[in-house]
């Protein structure tokens, strides 16, 4: 079964990047969004990214146009009925994701079709067991910005078929040009299980008044050669997303280092979500 038609549920920052890389790889992509306005925003986001790639010489202009013509945006989940692979890229909310997997399982007719999640923290087993096809459910975790960063974490559950793992890995490596690492099915997988405690430690430094966000970030970029400091990275990922991942990690492991600091929780309450809201640890207006 060739994965020539791909569904993507959600076309926000992550979803739009996933849509773009599959369209550039010659796949027909069917995008589902919650309403027409969200679909229009997603389409605009993909078009801008493709135009930027063409303007910088990373993509031939004709290829950019061909890629956008392969993408079909809509709000009817039934449009995904015939896809070979469907990637869920909704908000990092376990209840939302499990409900989507129930619905996708009912909508997608071919039981051989693969259901994947771009989740950064929800255990894949929890998503697989709400479907009739847990052997076809897998994690396929991309990194932002998806067209630029080379990594994909492939995460099988205990019930995922080895053939599904092989096919997804081959797709990511040979057709998308990504570097694949395999992770066990634990909250946070490989990257976020290592990254999030580091980010939370930086937040606690700010919260306690030990150091400013600017000085902490300068310390890690100038002293450790990190390309971005932990507070700017938190803003890039999204403060709400970091809280969601930390909450999932803490629920699984009950380790204090995974518990989201009160400062992060208050920032979410205030809508200070980082770059996507215009303000987080830094101000991005203008």
Q: Is the pLDDT of residue 168 over 60?
A: yes
Catalytic residues: 120, 141, 153, 192
The whole-chain average pLDDT of the chain stands at 96
Residues 30 and 66 in one domain: yes
CATH number of the domain to which 271 belongs: 1.10.1040.10
Residues 118 and 235 in one domain: no
Q: Is the pLDDT of residue 125 over 80?
A: yes
Residue 1 pLDDT: 57
Position 153 confidence tier, pLDDT thresholds 50, 70, 90: very high
Residues 114 and 241 in one domain: no
Where among 149, 182, 215 does a domain terminate? 182
CA distances from 193 to 91, 237, 279 (A): 19, 15, 26
Structural domain boundaries enclosing 113:
5-182
In this structure, are residues 196 and 242 in contact, taking their beta carbons and an 8 Å threshold? yes
The predicted-structure confidence for 191-214, as pLDDT tens digits, reads as follows 999 999 999 999 999 999 999 999
Those residues whose C-beta lies under 8 Å from the C-beta of residue 57, and which sit 6 or more positions away, are none
Average pLDDT of 225-235?
97
Position 223 confidence tier, pLDDT thresholds 50, 70, 90: very high
Q: 284 lies in a domain?
A: no
Q: Is the pLDDT of residue 2 over 90?
A: no
Residues 135 and 210 in one domain: no
Where among 182, 205, 220 does a domain terminate? 182
Helix (H) / strand (E) containing 88:
strand 85-88
Position 18 confidence tier, pLDDT thresholds 50, 70, 90: very high
Total domains, the chain = 2
Prediction pTM value = 0.91
In this structure, are residues 19 and 29 in contact, taking their beta carbons and an 8 Å threshold? yes
């Amino acid at each position: 079964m060739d994965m020539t038609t791909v569904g993507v549920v959600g076309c926000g920052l992550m979803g739009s990047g996933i849509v773009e890389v599959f369209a550039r790889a010659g796949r027909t992509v069917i995008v589902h969004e919650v309403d027409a306005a969200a679909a229009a925003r997603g389409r605009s986001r993909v078009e801008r990214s493709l135009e930027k790639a063409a303007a910088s010489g990373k993509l031939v202009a004709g290829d950019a146009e061909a890629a956008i013509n392969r993408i079909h945006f809509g709000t009817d989940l039934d449009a995904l009925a015939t896809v070979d692979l469907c990637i869920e890229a909704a908000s990092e909310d376990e209840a939302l994701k499990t409900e989507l997997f129930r619905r996708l399982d009912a909508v997608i007719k071919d039981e051989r079709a693969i259901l994947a999640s771009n989740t950064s923290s929800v255990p894949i087993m929890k998503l697989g067991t709400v479907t009739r096809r847990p052997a076809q459910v897998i994690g396929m975790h991309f990194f932002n910005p998806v067209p630029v960063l080379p990594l994909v974490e492939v995460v099988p559950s205990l019930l995922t078929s080895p053939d599904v793992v092989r096919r997804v890995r081959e797709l990511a490596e040979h057709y998308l040009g990504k570097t694949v690492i395999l992770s066990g099915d634990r909250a946070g997988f490989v990257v976020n299980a290592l990254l999030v405690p580091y980010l939370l430690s930086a937040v606690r430094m700010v919260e306690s008044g030990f150091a400013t966000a600017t000085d902490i970030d300068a310390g890690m970029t100038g002293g450790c050669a990190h390309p971005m400091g932990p507070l700017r990275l938190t803003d890039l990922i999204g403060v709400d997303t970091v809280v969601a991942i930390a909450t999932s990690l803490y629920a699984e492991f009950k380790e204090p280092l995974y518990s989201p600091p009160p400062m992060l929780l208050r920032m979410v309450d205030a809508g200070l979500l980082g770059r996507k809201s215009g303000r987080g640890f830094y101000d991005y207006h203008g």
